[in-house]
């Protein structure tokens, strides 16, 4: 707890610096990542992050120190080279883009490792901490590095905000952007540079292997909450910032822990929660909606069966007969019956189920929709009466009252359906 | 150059790994699953750590089972995210492998004092240790380098898998609908292939590291694919390339005194980019450019 207060009160200027740095980094990568995600280029980020390794090593070789200017420039050069190689190879060969990405990624990383093993043999003491570039450790960044990375992240954020409209057009409607005279090629170049820069600023804090997650995951999670780009950007930024701070805090409390993996874990957790519980597109939300719909269908069918019995002049149906209508679904049928009884649609006495007044009205409504639709199909679509049942079986559950009125009006308030069954009318209304 | 038994061992082991990876890689590439292979090679990490905790050793069946299971779970997860959550497939691959890899790294860091497994060995591997890492039987008899045996077994299994299921692999790769129509379990074939990929990753990661497995899995088939369209030729070329890469890779590393696996990937990259440049379509284009450029120089 003490550490918690110490960390979050920011009394230590180093902590404050690191947190500021990681917040800026999270914002810039989340923003760039949202556009790459929408542009379906998520894995290019992965390739870039692996491809910066030879650049970092090259910078070490040339400068002999961990000077951030050199490292950023070196990483930028090979990162940019990898994006260029990916575009070039996928344009000029028959190879699929994912094969090209995987090839470029592993080749650049292999070259990086060769250079790294070379460097390690020189025994230069200033090279210690080189492995931070692989797994990332935000706490290890201090002083000058932080200014450079922070400044770059800020620059990325500003450029994206300035070119927000242009990038939006480029991602969503490329041909339109071209037709109104936007320099799409140059914009793309600018955007690719931003993407490489975003990866470069993150490598020391997050590490090359996991940097891809910072680009992909916030955007993917945000996509589940909104369809609007501006809101999606905001949500992605918030998710990313939260994970960045939590990751930095954990590696502060447990000093031997690398920051990158923890940031990624928190991010993934947020993403998976979004996938399951988001109110719009979450897996759980969709599942519940689907289950409710299936229950409604089942309920409707039971009511219809009872209505049919009623039309034949029977008082009700025996419970086993209702169950027999839906073979293999007795559990579901029973729960539907219980629910209908609770809602006062049916009554059950001595194993005979009969409709109440209210139930008769509801069942009549469903049958009316079914028969109206059948009539509509035969009258307006010229479909033979014996082919309209299946369609009506689906539509009877989803026709809204407004649509019902429209149908009724267009068909001139019919009395009978194509099979000469009487269309039940709601007595209260007429 | 005199015969060096260590070099021979390393090159042989490297070749066998390259052959196993390349054979599976051909199908991964043709199925447009190159990045899934990359994802699996990262994602097996937690499986390796758990298996290590259970069995207490870096060798043996537990490791293979652990990693194989996690590899298949990763595949299932990727499919689940893209089918059920309607997430675009590159994003589901990215999210799945980064989160599993992060979990693996954290597990290793937590257990750093208890287990003999470090982050670096997962990433790079060290094939140079092959000659000194010997398999010693209970009676103290030295049977030879352990990793060589492992990669031999792996290669035999992969060749067996590809030979036995060649028809199934071919049909489900090129015509999924037809395969499903004739009653072939495309899902089964897919998971069998992913299982083999996970197993190969695990058995090779000690030697060449997780990311370089991908280099051997994707780059030789991609290079070979630029030369031929015939599946048999593609497989043959891939195998030859694998052997050449490990041979040249070893000597490159020898002269540079660097990581052998990294050098193998570098050589593979050299072949890849040279092929792309030499590609028949490319040469006329360059000639045309040169022809155009000449008058302007005058």
The segment(s) of chain A belonging to CATH 1.10.60.10 are 360-411
Mean pLDDT for B24-37 is 89
A13-31 burial, b if ≥16 CB within 10 A, otherwise e?
eebebbbebbbbbbbbbbb
Cross-chain CB nearest to B225 (options A95, A112, A264): A95
**CB distance A107–B215 less than 8 Å?**
yes
Contacts of B85 in chain A (CB under 8 A): 224, 275, 281, 283
Integer angstrom CA distances of residue A393 from A308, A343, A412, A420: 15, 24, 22, 17
Residue with tokens 């090839």: A103
A155-179 burial, b if ≥16 CB within 10 A, otherwise e?
ebbebbeebeebbbbbbeeeeebee
Q: What confidence tier does B126 reach under pLDDT thresholds 50, 70, 90?
A: low
Q: What is the pLDDT of residue B297?
A: 47
Please name the residue of chain A whose CA is at the shortest distance from the CA of residue B283. Answer: A92
C-alpha to C-alpha distance for A154 and A104, rounded to whole angstroms: 29
Architecture of the domain defined by A360-411: Orthogonal Bundle (1.10)
Say if residue A306's pLDDT is above 70: yes
Q: Are A355 and A365 in contact (CB under 8 A)?
A: no
Domains of chain B and any CATH numbers: 5-209 (1.10.3470.10)
**CB distance A42–B94 less than 8 Å?**
yes
Contacts of A283 in chain B (CB under 8 A): 84-85
Q: Are B197 and B24 in contact (CB under 8 A)?
A: yes
**CB distance A264–B99 less than 8 Å?**
yes
Condensed to tens digits (0 to 9), the pLDDT of residues A134-192 reads 777 777 777 777 888 888 899 999 999 999 988 888 888 888 888 888 888 888 889 88
With a pLDDT cut of 90, the percent of chain B lying above it is 22
Q: What is the pLDDT of residue B294?
A: 59
| Sign, CA torsion A128/A134/A137/A142 | positive
Contacts of A99 in chain B (CB under 8 A): 29, 32, 34, 218, 221-222, 225
| CATH of the domain spanning A285-355 | 1.10.10
Count Cβ atoms within 10 A of the Cβ of residue A382 and give its class: 0-12 exposed, 13-18 middle, 19 or more buried: exposed
The segment(s) of chain A belonging to CATH 1.10.3470.10 are 17-215
User: Mean pLDDT lowest for which of B89-93, B138-142, B179-183, B262-266?
Assistant: B138-142
**CB distance B258–A46 less than 8 Å?**
no
Condensed to tens digits (0 to 9), the pLDDT of residues B56-81 reads 766 667 777 888 888 888 988 888 88
Token output for A336: 């539907």
Bin A349: left if φ > 0, else alpha if -120 < ψ < 50, else beta. Answer: beta
> From start to end of A271-398, where are the E strands?
317-318, 346-349, 352-355
Neighbouring CB atoms inside 10 A of B112's CB total 13
Contacts of B79 in chain A (CB under 8 A): none
Condensed to tens digits (0 to 9), the pLDDT of residues A237-283 reads 999 999 999 988 888 888 777 888 899 999 999 998 888 887 777 77
Residue with tokens 């599946």: B231
Of 3.30.1600.10, 2.40.10.120, 3.90.1150.10, 1.10.3470.10, which CATH number belongs to A17-215? 1.10.3470.10
Integer angstrom CA distances of residue A374 from A371, A380, B244: 5, 10, 71
Say if residue B269's pLDDT is above 90: yes
Say if residue B282's pLDDT is above 70: no
**CB distance B214–A209 less than 8 Å?**
no
Contacts of A114 in chain B (CB under 8 A): 253, 256, 258-259, 262-263, 265-266
**CB distance B262–A219 less than 8 Å?**
no
**Residues for chain B: how many in total?**
298
Residue with tokens 């092929």: B275
A325-334 burial, b if ≥16 CB within 10 A, otherwise e?
eeeeeeeebe
B101 Cα to chain A: minimum distance (Å): 8
Cross-chain CB nearest to A110 (options B112, B215, B222): B215
**CB distance A110–B86 less than 8 Å?**
no
Contacts of B88 in chain A (CB under 8 A): 37, 40, 42
Token output for B30: 């043709």
> From start to end of chain B, where are the E strands?
134-136, 142-145
**CB distance A264–B87 less than 8 Å?**
no
Q: What is the pLDDT of residue A235?
A: 93
**Highest mean pLDDT (candidates A57-61, A139-143, A305-309, A328-332):** A57-61
**CB distance A283–B84 less than 8 Å?**
yes
The segment(s) of chain A belonging to CATH 1.10.10 are 285-355
A132 Cα to chain B: minimum distance (Å): 11
Q: Coil, helix or strand for B261?
A: helix
Q: What confidence tier does B85 reach under pLDDT thresholds 50, 70, 90?
A: confident
User: Mean pLDDT lowest for which of A87-91, A216-220, A418-422, B141-145?
Assistant: B141-145
């Amino acid at each position: 707890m003490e550490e918690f207060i110490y960390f979050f009160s920011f009394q230590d200027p180093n902590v404050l610096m690191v947190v500021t740095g990681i917040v800026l980094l999270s914002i810039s990568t989340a923003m760039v990542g949202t556009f790459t995600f929408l542009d379906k280029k998520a894995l290019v980020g992965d390739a870039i992050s692996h491809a910066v390794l030879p650049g970092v090593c090259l910078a070490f070789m040339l400068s002999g120190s961990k000077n951030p200017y050199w490292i950023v420039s070196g990483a930028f050069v090979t990162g940019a080279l990898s994006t260029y190689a990916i575009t070039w190879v996928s344009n000029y060969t028959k190879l699929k883009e994912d094969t090209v990405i995987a090839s470029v990624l592993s080749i650049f990383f292999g070259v990086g490792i060769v250079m790294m093993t070379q460097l390690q043999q020189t025994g230069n003491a200033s090279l210690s901490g080189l492995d931070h570039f692989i797994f990332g450790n935000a706490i290890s960044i201090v002083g000058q590095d932080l200014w450079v990375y922070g400044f770059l992240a800020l620059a990325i954020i500003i450029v994206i905000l300035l070119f927000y409209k242009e990038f939006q057009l480029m991602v969503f409607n490329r041909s339109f952007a071209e037709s109104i005279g936007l320099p799409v090629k140059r914009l793309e170049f600018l955007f690719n540079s931003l993407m490489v820069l975003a990866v470069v600023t993150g490598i020391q804090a997050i590490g090359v292997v996991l940097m891809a997650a910072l680009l992909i995951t916030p955007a993917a999670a945000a996509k589940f909450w909104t369809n609007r780009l501006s809101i999606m950007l905001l949500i992605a930024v918030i998710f990313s910032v939260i994970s960045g701070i939590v990751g930095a805090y954990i590696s502060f409390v447990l000093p031997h822990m690398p920051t990158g993996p923890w940031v990624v874990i928190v991010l993934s957790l947020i993403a998976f929660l979004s996938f399951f519980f988001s109110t719009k597109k979450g897996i759980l939300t969709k599942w519940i909606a689907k289950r409710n719909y299936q229950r409604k269908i089942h309920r409707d069918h039971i009511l219809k069966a009872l209505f049919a019995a009623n039309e034949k002049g029977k008082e009700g149906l025996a419970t086993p007969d209702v169950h027999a209508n839906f073979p293999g679904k007795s559990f579901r049928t029973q729960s539907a019956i219980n629910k209908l009884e609770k809602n006062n649609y049916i009554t059950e006495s001595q194993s005979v189920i009969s409709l109440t007044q209210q139930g008769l009205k509801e069942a009549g409504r469903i049958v009316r929709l079914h028969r109206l639709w059948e009539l509509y199909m035969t009258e307006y679509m010229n479909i033979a009466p014996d082919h309209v049942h299946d369609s009506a079986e689906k539509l009877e559950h989803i026709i809204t009252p407004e649509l019902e009125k429209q149908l009724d009006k267009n068909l001139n308030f019919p009395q009978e359906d194509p099979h000469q069954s009487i269309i039940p009318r709601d007595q209260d209304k007429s | 150059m005199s015969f060096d038994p260590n070099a021979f061992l390393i090159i042989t082991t490297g070749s066998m790994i390259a052959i196993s990876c390349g054979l599976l890689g051909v199908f991964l590439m043709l199925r447009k699953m190159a990045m899934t292979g990359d994802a699996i090679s990262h994602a097996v990490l937690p499986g390796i750590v758990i298996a290590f905790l259970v069995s207490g050793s870096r060798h043996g069946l537990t490791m293979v089972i652990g990693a194989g299971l996690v590899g298949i779970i990763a595949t299932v997860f990727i499919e689940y995210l893209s089918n059920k959550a309607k997430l675009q497939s590159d994003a589901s691959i990215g999210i799945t492998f980064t989160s599993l890899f992060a979990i693996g790294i954290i597990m290793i860091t937590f257990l750093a004092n208890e287990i003999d497994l470090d982050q670096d060995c997962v990433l790079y591997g060290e094939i140079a240790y092959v000659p000194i890492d010997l398999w010693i039987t209970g009676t103290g008899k030295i049977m030879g380098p352990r990793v060589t045996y492992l990669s031999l077994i792996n290669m035999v299994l992969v060749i067996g898998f590809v030979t036995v299921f060649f028809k199934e692999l071919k049909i489900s790769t090129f015509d999924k609908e037809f395969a499903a129509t004739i009653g072939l379990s495309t899902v089964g074939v897919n998971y069998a292939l992913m299982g083999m990929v996970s197993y190969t990753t695990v058995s090779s990661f000690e030697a060449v590291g997780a990311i370089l497995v991908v280099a051997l899995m994707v780059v030789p088939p991609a290079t070979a694919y630029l030369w031929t369209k015939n599946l048999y030729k593609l497989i043959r070329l891939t195998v030859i390339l694998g052997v050449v890469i490990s041979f040249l890779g070893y000597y490159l590393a020898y002269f540079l005194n660097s990581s052998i696996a990294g050098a193998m990937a570098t050589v593979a990259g050299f072949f890849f980019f040279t092929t792309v440049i030499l590609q028949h379509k490319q040469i006329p284009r360059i000639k045309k450019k040169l022809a155009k450029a000449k008058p302007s120089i005058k």
